Chain A
Amino acid sequence: MEDFGNIVCSAFIVWLTLVVGLIVLPAMFGISLGITEVYMKVLVKTLEWATLRIQRGSKEQQKPTTLVSNGIILRDDGSMEKEITDLRKGRSKPQINGEFELSDIFYFSKKGFESIVEDEVTHRFTSEELVSWNLLTRSNNNFQYISLRISIIWVLGVCIRYCILLPLRVTLATIGLSWLVIGASLVGLLPNSRVKNWLSELVHLMCYRICARGLSATICYHNKENRPMKGGICVANHTSPIDIVILANDGCYAMVGQVHGGLLGIIQRAIVKACPHVWFERSEMKDRSLVTKRLRNHVADKTKLPILIFPEGTCVNNTSVMMFKKGSFEIGGTIYPVAIKYDPRFGDAFWNSAKYNMVSYLIRMMTSWAIVCDVWYLPSMTRQEEESAVQFANRVKAAIARQGGLVDLSWDGGLKRAKVKDTYKEEQQKSYSKMIVGDDSS
């Protein structure tokens, strides 16, 4: 028994040394040994092969393939005025401006049924549907049994992901986070100086690089010349907590957020010793002016790192960008927009916080094939003279959506949990009232 224990111990130590030597150390210094590249190549080849087999298989079985096209229905995009006027064209009597017709109801009922069949919002809060199965059980919605070979590959995939990749990634994440806490606390002991800042940046970068390796993340940064500078505000679209790791791999940011308890709280307290982040107590978050003031002070200090903010306020599924809350755009300063787009074939990065808590989410992340994403740094923007904060927010949102190939929506991400505000319904009622009484106010 003891021998067995010894063997297990030594095996573990050997394995740990390999991991540290081959992955952690190169990651810390930003060097790549090419292991991830090889893995990705094999993975892409396998997935392409699987796609072909599945397509061939469904043709042979002559099952009608449910195409995952971009929509179920084709909608008219006309305005309320245009549609209702169209409806009334059939009337034989001359059109008197401002009148009600029994046919007006058709407009609202058709719009209602169209939204029941397909709407712009509800599916943004669930994971994106894939065009072809990527051999992960979790993304299996409409794909049926095809062949023995695919099933074997799938079983092999499960074994590799859960027995090899998962322990490896958990180890890396643990190493990375412990290093962050220890390193940041050590750096925090130094007096404030340029050396301290440089060391703190180094510690942060190293940790995030290790964590990124821990997720087999392949990140492609575009337009690095637009990288956020000190004293600025970096805004990005939000898909998951991993976004922070993705962005921090290429630069140092000051984080903004609520103070948490538990493990996250330990990390928060440690890193704030090394360089200033902005953590708020829950009670402070409610006071908008206080929040704005603290952020403004941080931004005004040009030696401090750029703040990282996700104006959507919640995670959405990376097919669209939802309403940006105007708070971040009232602070002033230069905004550096960043667009992040994940490739859903290798792993679904979206955190459905209604369905999964943080731990199950992280396990899902660590058992995906990989995280592949593109990050575009967009040129900086500042608020114009006559622009309101809301207009500025929309301008930035449109730029990010355009770059990332995402749909630009003005719906609030908060609709994930909350009901829609009645003001939108009231707007529609107002427009319709104008149509039936003409423009003279009653």
Chain B
Amino acid sequence: MGSRASTLLRDEEIEEIKKETGFSHSQITRLYSRFTSLDKGENGTLCREDFQRIPELAINPLGDRIINTFFPEGEDQVNFRGFMRTLAHFRPIDDPEKNKDPNVSEPLNSRNNKLLFAFRLYDLDKDDKISRDELLQVLRMMVGVNISDDQLGSIADRTIQEADQDGDSSISFTEFIKVLEKVDVEQKMSIRFLH
């Protein structure tokens, strides 16, 4: 008569995930339910097809990029820890007073890490710069066939021109942060979890 979901996830694991990501106990069990319901192969890991089965994600123009963030270099499967680690980026930013411990490294959902996450969505080759090509790739994904190459190119050029400060025709992470300093990252890159 035991429960299927919770007994497969041991309490120690839940504690570890809690420490690493900051999710609460009930959030972790709820997300584990979600993980197992997406895991059609029932082998404890998700593959890309499992994500693509979600219709709302499949029609998202950046769907493929988002799915890729779950899979570390060259791997095709993500386990629950990896799943939670990536989701943690979207946890709302904690109250700064709560986290007084200087030994704890920056939490995954800090403003800086959220911006880094967004930066990595553009910067595919991970060279810490968003080149014109990389920007064009993302733009093309978001607009589909509705804008010509020329027009898209000029949009990309304009964006780089505005952001670029050291004149290397690409956007570094520092420049990226500068451009977005007024944006409410806390709200726009966070998912509001119930309980």
A71 interfacial contact with B, CB 8 Å: yes
A105 touches B188 (CB 8 A): no
B188 touches A437 (CB 8 A): no
A121 interfacial contact with B, CB 8 Å: yes
B56 touches A121 (CB 8 A): yes
Q: State the majority secondary structure of interface residues on B.
A: helix
B26 interfacial contact with A, CB 8 Å: yes
Given contacts A66-B29, A108-B61, A112-B63, contact A122 B147 (CB under 8 A): no
Count contacts on A: residues with CB < 8 A to the other chain. Answer: 66
Given contacts A115-B56, A119-B55, contact A105 B2 (CB under 8 A): no
Residue of chain B at shortest CB distance from A425:
B59
A145 interfacial contact with B, CB 8 Å: yes
B151 CB to nearest chain A CB (Å): 5
Q: How large is the interface on B (under 10, 10 to 19, 20 to 34, 35 or more residues)?
A: 35 or more
B59 touches A119 (CB 8 A): no
B143 touches A433 (CB 8 A): yes
Residue of chain A at shortest CB distance from B29:
A66
> Bound state CA distance, A113 and B193, in angstroms?
12
Q: Which B residues are in CB contact (< 8 Å) with A102?
A: 122, 159, 163, 171, 176, 179-180
B127 CB to nearest chain A CB (Å): 17
A425 touches B60 (CB 8 A): yes
Q: Which B residues are in CB contact (< 8 Å) with A90?
A: 180-184
Chain B CB within 10 A, most for which of A69, A106, A117, A118 = A106
> Bound state CA distance, A174 and B112, in angstroms?
67
B 86-103 binary contact with A (CB < 8 Å = 1; else 0): 010010000000000000
> Bound state CA distance, A124 and B141, in angstroms?
29
A365 CB to nearest chain B CB (Å): 22
A432 touches B56 (CB 8 A): no
Q: Which B residues are in CB contact (< 8 Å) with A162?
A: none
A52 interfacial contact with B, CB 8 Å: no
B192 touches A419 (CB 8 A): no
> Bound state CA distance, A110 and B59, in angstroms?
14
B43 interfacial contact with A, CB 8 Å: no
Given contacts A102-B180, A143-B3, contact A433 B146 (CB under 8 A): yes
Q: Which of B34, B54, B143 contacts A121 (CB 8 A)?
A: B54
> Bound state CA distance, A115 and B56, in angstroms?
6
A114 touches B191 (CB 8 A): yes
B142 touches A432 (CB 8 A): yes
A113 touches B66 (CB 8 A): yes
Given contacts A110-B188, A442-B148, contact A119 B143 (CB under 8 A): no
A428 interfacial contact with B, CB 8 Å: yes
B138 CB to nearest chain A CB (Å): 7
B 145-157 binary contact with A (CB < 8 Å = 1; else 0): 1111001000100
A145 touches B1 (CB 8 A): yes
CB under 8 Å from chain B, chain A span 143-183: 143-145, 151, 154
Q: Which B residues are in CB contact (< 8 Å) with A113?
A: 66, 87, 90, 191
A226 interfacial contact with B, CB 8 Å: no
CB under 8 Å from chain B, chain A span 225-275: none
B153 CB to nearest chain A CB (Å): 12
> Bound state CA distance, A415 and B193, in angstroms?
27
A122 touches B29 (CB 8 A): no
> Bound state CA distance, A442 and B5, in angstroms?
53
Question: 14 A-B contacts, Cβ less than 8 Å apart?
Answer: A87-B188, A100-B155, A102-B122, A102-B180, A103-B188, A117-B31, A144-B1, A424-B55, A425-B144, A426-B145, A428-B59, A428-B60, A429-B142, A433-B143
Q: Which residues of B contact A (CB under 8 A)?
A: 1-7, 25-27, 29-31, 33-34, 37-38, 51-63, 66, 87, 90, 117-118, 121-122, 138-139, 142-148, 151, 155, 158-159, 163, 171, 176, 179-185, 188-195
Q: A110-B90, A118-B34 known; 16 other A-B pairs, CB under 8 Å? A: A66-B26, A72-B27, A103-B180, A105-B142, A109-B117, A115-B57, A116-B51, A121-B55, A122-B37, A126-B37, A141-B3, A141-B33, A142-B33, A420-B59, A428-B61, A442-B147
